[in-house]
Each structure stands twice: as C-alpha cells, then as structure tokens.
Amino acid sequence: MDPVEVMKKHAAVPTSLPTVLPDDITYQKAGTSGTNALWVVFVIMLVSSIAFYVLAFRVPVQKRLFHILTAFITTFATISYYGMAVKAGISENVITVKHSEKHFPDTFSYIHREVYWARYVDWSLTTPLLLLDLAFLAGLSGANILVAVVADVIMVLTGLFAAITVDESPKWGWYAMGCIAYLVVVYQLAINGRGVVQNKDKKTATFFVSIASFTLILWTIYPIIWGIADGSRIASVDAEIIAYAVLDVLAKPVFGFWLLFTHDSLSSSVSIDGFWANGLGKEGTLTVGDDEDGA
C-alpha cells in the first residue's frame, strides 16, 4: 500500500475530544397564575377582616374576644398577601447541584428559586392567634396554652429556617424540628383540649372536636406542601402559591366565619368583663374575671 495513501486515510479520521457542557441555570419564579392567586387571596382576606370587625361591633365588648382574635388573623394575612403580591417579602435561594461523570469534568446546575418569607411572618402571628381561639373555646389552662403557642412559634420559625437554607442536610434538620414541634401542638389540642372541653355542654364539646379536627387536618397538609415545594422543589412556585392560598383561605376566613357564627349560638359562649371590658378599676387595680354583673 502506498504510504502516502495510508497517511491521507488516517488524517481523514476525526479525533473525538471530550466535550464539556455549559452550566445550567434554572429560574423558579412565580408566573401569572401565582401572582393572580396572591391578589385574589388578598381581597378575600381584606373582605373577611372587614366582616369580622363589623360582627365584633354587633356584640357587647364582653363577648368580642373571638371576634377580635379572628379579625386580627385575617388582618395580618391581608398585609402578608399584599406584600407577596407586590413582590415584597420575597428572597431568592440559589441551589447548586453537582453532576459528576467518570470520564468528563464535573458540571453544575444552578437553581434560583423564590422564597416567600413574608408567609412565615404571617404564620408566626396568625397561627398563635388561631390557637388562642381554639384554646379559649375548649377552656385550656394557661400552662397548656403557653406550651401550645411556644411550640407553634418554634414550628413556624424552624420552617422559615428550613426554607432559606440551601444545604440539604441542615434544611431537612430544621424541617424535622418543625414536625416535632407540630406534634406538641397536636397533643395540646387533640388530647388536652378534647379532655377539658368535655366538662362543658355537649354542643360546645362537639363543636370544638369538629373545628379543631378541621384545623389539624389543614395544618398537616402544610408540611406536605412544603416538602414537595421549598423542600424538594418538585412543585413549581405557582403550584406552591396556589396550594398555600387554598389552605390559608380555609384555615382563616372559613375557620373564622364557622367559629363566630357557631360560637354566638352556644349557651357557653365566652364573656369577659374586668380589665377586658372596663379597663383599670377606680383604685388603679387590674381586674380580670367572669363577673356577670358587668355584662
């Protein structure tokens, strides 16, 4: 064979070189459907708040405890949803995902995902108020109420820390702490609350079991949504917003109207006189009680 022809043949064979893919960057942000959902819930919370304040002024001040607590819940939610709708109260996590191949250089994917920290500020204020509604309805002791509220705040704060943490192990560590705190809240309502409310009339006891169960079922769905949204980033930001929006409407306005309309019809409706209704006494002392003479 001609040596020249051999050289030409080998020169025609292309030499394959390893290729390096460029880094992949993904942006996970709210779209039109998510933003619209925020505005819709803002309006629902605003209208509900106005309705709750109107209902409060229709009853004596001694009987406004549940009305005021419930109105505060939707008021804080109104502020939160307005903030999220106008793109306030939002930060961005940048998650780095490493891809390793045996014969190629490592490549990296970067995920930029919106984190709505305003939502956690909302929950840190509204869920303790909601717990107070349930605790006062059942007649829980001050010690049990304190434990439930502190556990609830821990649950929300650890959820926030988990949401803003980008490293996988610490993130799920925070999440586990939040789940443990939630179990404490469940215990206070499902065990202690149910036990105490049995001392009241049957209608009140039945109503407490119903509305507390409704609340705990909703609250159990929240960490599931978190796990597939902020946690594993399987759900889109729009899906996350819509899921939380539905839960918040059920857990706040729907809960509030159900509580107020039913509570007002109960024979054991709470009436608070003393400092709540009359302020400081003539002698400058602070008095809180259930004296019916001032009702």
Structure tokens at 96: 């780095």
> In terms of Cα–Cα distance, which of 154, 120, 148, 119 is closest to 134?
148
Q: Examine residue 10 and state whether it is found in any structural domain, yes or no.
A: no
Model confidence pLDDT, tens digit, residues 28-59? 788 899 999 999 999 999 999 999 999 999 88
Number of Cβ within a 10 Å radius of residue 80: 26
User: Kind and range of the H or E element at 95?
Assistant: strand 91-99
- Of 168, 237, 230, give the one whose Cα is nearest residue 28: 237
Q: Which residues of the chain have pLDDT under 70?
A: 1-23, 97-108, 267-278, 280-295
What's the burial of 138, exposed, middle or buried (CB within 10 Å: 0-12/13-18/19+)?
Answer: buried
Tell me phi and psi for residue 109, to 5 degrees. -110, 140
**What token pair was written down for 231?**
């946690």
Q: pTM for the whole thing?
A: 0.82
What does the pLDDT read at residue 11?
53
What the block records as the tokens of 127 is 């869920």
Give a yes or no: residue 2 inside a domain.
no
Residues 137-171 pLDDT 10s: 999 999 999 999 999 999 999 999 999 998 888 99
| Total of domains in the chain | 1
First to last CA, the chain: 117
Note whether residue 257 is domain-resident.
Answer: yes
Decide if 1 is inside a domain: no
pLDDT given at position 294: 45
User: Based on the number of CB atoms within 10 Å of its own CB, is 62 exposed (0-12), middle (13-18) or buried (19 or more)?
Assistant: buried
- CATH number where 196 lies: 1.20.1070.10
Query: Range of 152's domain?
Result: 16-294
Residue 36 neighbours by CB under 8 Å, 6+ apart: none
